[in-house]
Amino acid sequence: MPNPQRPYRFIISGGGTGGHIYPAIAIANQIKVVHPDAEILFVGAIGRMEMTRVPEAGYKIVGLWISGLQRRLTLDNLSFPWKVISSIRMSNKIIREFKPDAVVGVGGYASGPLLYAATSKKIPALIQEQNSYAGITNKLLAKRVQKICVAYNNMDAFFPAEKLVMTGNPVRKDIMELEGKRREALLHFGLTSEKKTILVIGGSLGARMINQSIAAGLQQIADAGYQLIWQTGRAFYPQAQELEKPFTDAGIRAFDFIRQMGLAYAAADVVVSRAGALSISELCLAGKPSILVPSPNVAEDHQTKNAMSLVQEQAALLVRDAEAQQQLIPAALELAGNETEQHRLAQNILKLARPNAAVDIVNELLKLIK
């Protein structure tokens, strides 16, 4: 039982991609709304993006020496058992010193050892699964935790049905507050209100096929009279910087990473995006007409399943990754020029939004310790 003499303490663990990190931060922010004096510690994987993104959000994070298994024989794979043992030992030390009242796992390498250690000590635990196809870490932890918060139906295919709670995915607060921000957003990106704006986001790490397709179509976008906000990811960014130079006056803007995603959505008339679970949750809340290009490089092609959940509700358009170089630019230009279709997609995608996801998850978490 928590000590009533001190503030609640929570550990939130996981990461690897924005799709894990930003829901985790949204959960932490909601804990602070309900219990402003709560103490929150994040546990991530050394060398992964959570080690910078979490401190930027104002929270302390500790790193574990852990990574995933590669599909081929590598030195990393040979060291994997030692990493697991080391990470469980470190997790035990963290729990012993921090004394959490409850722990939350959001998927990603670090959440496995941390939640294993916590549940071994009978500390209440909850996991949040963002995708329509459960990650391996969460599947392994499912028997050990009390609650599993999900964003899609039929997740009893992966988890015990009696532990499931449908909450949706929590998103950053700025994405839920776009009303009246278009002018500020266009100024932020150095764009004009005279032109339609296309936003391209390939996920926090970028998307090769989307980037190549957009790079080949910059002249078409400029000739059609549209502006572009283009998040490329770190690897493609140097190339994109060179490609955008001739189009600066036309309103083509490339970024390796966009921190002000709320402003990016506020500026956008049309969005081209991967179909990660977090991206889809954000698009639903932002109410943006979207073209989804699911990544083929994910377990069980779950991004296509995510995308189809919107396409079947006539809430988004789909371009397959293998067809992006031929179809993506024509589809984006056509949608940007069709206000009737934009309105139809926006109205339908808004119906799928779950704005109270963070609130619902934190309510479930607090139930575990009361």
CATH of the domain at 136: 3.40.50.2000
Same domain, 206 and 296: yes
**pLDDT surpasses 90 at 202:** no
Q: What is the pLDDT of residues 254-295, one digit of tens each?
A: 999 898 999 999 999 999 999 988 899 999 999 999 999 999
Same domain, 136 and 199: no
Q: Could you give the CA distance from residue 32 to residue 16 in angstroms, rounded to a whole number?
A: 23
Same domain, 200 and 160: no
Which residues fall within 8 angstroms of residue 206, CB to CB, at 6 or more apart?
A: 231, 232, 233, 234, 235, 236, 237, 256
Averaged pLDDT, 334-352: 97
**pLDDT surpasses 90 at 87:** no
Do 221 and 243 touch, CB atoms closer than 8 A? no
Tell me the two tokens of residue 177. Answer: 């507050």
Rounded to a whole number of angstroms, the distance between the first and last alpha carbons of the chain is 8
For residues 350 and 131, the model is more confident at 350
Averaged pLDDT, 44-60: 92
What is the predicted pLDDT for the residue at 297?
A: 83
Distances 89 to 84, 103, 255 between C-alpha atoms, Å: 9, 17, 39
What is the predicted pLDDT for the residue at 79?
A: 62
Note down the domain range covering 17.
9-169+355-369
**pLDDT surpasses 90 at 123:** yes
Half-sphere exposure of 328 (CA within 13 A, CB side): 28
User: How many domains does the structure of the chain reveal?
Assistant: 2
Same domain, 125 and 25: yes
Same domain, 364 and 326: no
Q: What is the dihedral of CA 360, 273, 69, 151, to 10 degrees?
A: 20
Matching residue, tokens 């990461």: 15
Q: Could you give the CA distance from residue 363 to residue 370 in angstroms, rounded to a whole number?
A: 11
Is 335 within a domain?
Answer: yes
Q: What is the pLDDT of residues 228-257, one digit of tens each?
A: 999 999 999 999 999 999 999 999 999 998
Supply the DSSP string of 274-289, one letter for each residue: ---HHHHHHHHHHT--
Is 288 within a domain?
Answer: yes
Annotated binding-site positions for UDP-N-acetyl-alpha-D-glucosamine = 17-19, 131, 172, 204, 258, 303
**pLDDT surpasses 90 at 109:** no
Sheet bearing 290-292, strands edge to edge: 252-255, 227-231, 197-201, 270-273, 290-292, 317-318
**pLDDT surpasses 70 at 36:** yes
Backbone phi, psi, residue 13, to 5°: -130, 145
Annotated binding-site positions = 17-19, 131, 172, 204, 258, 303
Name the pLDDT band for 137 (thresholds 50, 70, 90).
Answer: confident
Name the pLDDT band for 83 (thresholds 50, 70, 90).
Answer: low
